[in-house]
Structure 1
Amino acid sequence: PAAFHGLFGFRMANNDYAREGVFPIIPSLESVGWMTAQLEDLQTSIEALFPSLNASSTEAPHGYLLNDPSIPLDAELKANMMDLTRYLDVDDNPEPNRALCRRFKESGEAYTTIESRELYAIHQYWIEEYRTRYPEHLLRRIEAGQICTAEKAELATAIQQKIRETMSDFFNRYDYLILPISPQATPDRANWSGQISNELNRLNAPASLTFLPALILPFPCDEGRHSALQLLLNPRKLHLCSKILQQVRGFYG
C-alpha cells in the first residue's frame, strides 16, 4: 500500500524485529520495513540501520528485471517502470527469466497456504469466543488454515524451498532481482477484483517466501497514481544499496 502512495521503502530480512514486542500475523515470514517520502531519507535510514555497510566499495551492482508474461502489466505502468530501470545496470538475458517465471508460478498459492496455517495456529484458541470481532476476510483466511490438509501444507513448504534454492543460484550471477509490486497503478476500490488480489500476491510473495531484504522504489503514473519496483537484494550484498540509490537519483530529479 505504501508504494501506491509514492513512498520509498526498505524491507529487512526476516529477523527478531518482526517477532519481539509485536503481534505477528505470519511469524515465519514477516519482516519489518521502513517507509520514507524522499530518496535521501531512505538512504539515511539504511545507513543508520546498517552502519557497517558504509565502507566504500568499487563493486558495481548488477541486476535482472523479471518479465512474467502470465501477469500482464498496464501499458502506462510498464512504460514508466522501464524509464526507472534505465538508470540501473540490468541484464537482458532471457534465460533466467524463464526459470524464475516457472519457479514463481505457484508462489502466491504457497504463501496463502502458509499464511492461513499460521493464522489458524495463532487464533484457534479464541476465534470462536470473539468471532464477531473478526473482519469477514480475516475469518475466511483463518478458516482456510483450519481445513488445510497436511499434504497441501507440505506442498507449500516444498514450493518455498525450491524458490529459495532458485534465488540462491540466481545470486551467484546477480546482486538483485527487480519485480513490479502491482500489475496496475493505485487501484480503485470500485475496480478491485480477485484477479488483482491474486496477481499482487504472486508478485509480492517471493520476497516473503525467501526472507530476502528488499528496496521499494516508487514511480508516478497518470492521475496522481503510483506504483513501484521491488528490488529483492542479495543478503550478502547489502553494501551495494547506497550505489543502487545513487544510480536512480537522476530519475527522481
Structure 2
Amino acid sequence: MDERTAAGAERQQLPDGPSVWCTSGPAAVAMWREMLPPGTYHRAARRLRGGDTLVDVGANIGLLSLHCARARPGLRIIAAEPAPALHTCLERNLAEHAGTARWRAERTAVGDRAGHLSFTYYPQAPGNSGLYADRQADDGITLAFLRNSGIDAEDAAELLDGLHEGVELTVPVVTVSELLRRHRVDRVDLLKVDVERAELDVLRGVEREHWPLVGAVVAEVHDEGGRLDAVRDLLGAQGFDVRVGQDPLLAGTPLYDVEAVRDV
C-alpha cells in the first residue's frame, strides 16, 4: 500500500503515539492532543477495563478508539464515522493498531432517527465536519483556539483562509439504539459523542430501554441555543453524575466537555 492513497490519506506520526492514516497531518496531531493527560478523553479511557465496550460516535480517524485499545487490551469497539475519507482511515488505523480489541467501523452518522442527511465535510479541518456545520461559527472557534495557543492575529487569519471550505455529502444516519441492536451490544461502558452540534440528537436517539446499559458518557458539546443545559438535563434525568469543563485553549468559545458517570 502506498504511503499516499487515492482517497488522499497520508501517514502521520503522532507525538508519543502511533503512526496513523489521516487526511490532514496537522489535524491528526491536534486531535491526538485531546487524548493525552489531563484531558477528558484520557480520564474516560482510564476508567475502562479489558473486555469493556466502547461506542465511538463521531470516530473521525479513530484516535479515541486507538487510545482506549492501547490502554485497555481486549476492548470491544463499535465506531461510527460518516465521511468516506475519514472512515477509510478509521478502518486502516483500527486494523493496524487496535491490538486485541474486537472492532467494527460503521460508515454512518448518528442522530435521533434513521434516514439520510446532508453532511458538510471540511477537507482541511476534518474534525469540524458535521451535519450542522456553520462556516462562520467554525472560523470563530478556530480563531479563538489559535489565539489562545499564542498565535498572533495576522498568522491566525492566514491559517483560517479556506480552512472551512466544505464539500456537501449525503450520508446515512442511524441511532445509537440501532447500533446496539445491530451489533447485539448488551452494555456500553463508554459512549463517546463528538459530532459538531449534533450531540443532543445522538443522545435523544438512545431509547429508554437502552439507557440502563450505558455506564458513562463523554461528549463535546457546542453550547449554542441552550444545548449544554439540555444535554446536562437529559443525562441527569438518566441517573448520571454530570460534570462540565472546558479546555483552556477553547476559552471564549461555546465548546465544552461533558463527563457523565453513573451515581453509585
Higher relative helix content: 1
Instruction: Give TM-score, length-normalised by structure 1.
Output: 0.29
Larger RCO of the pair (alpha carbons < 8 Å, separation 6+): 1
Question: More strand per residue: 1 or 2?
Answer: 2
**TM-score, scaled to structure 2:** 0.28
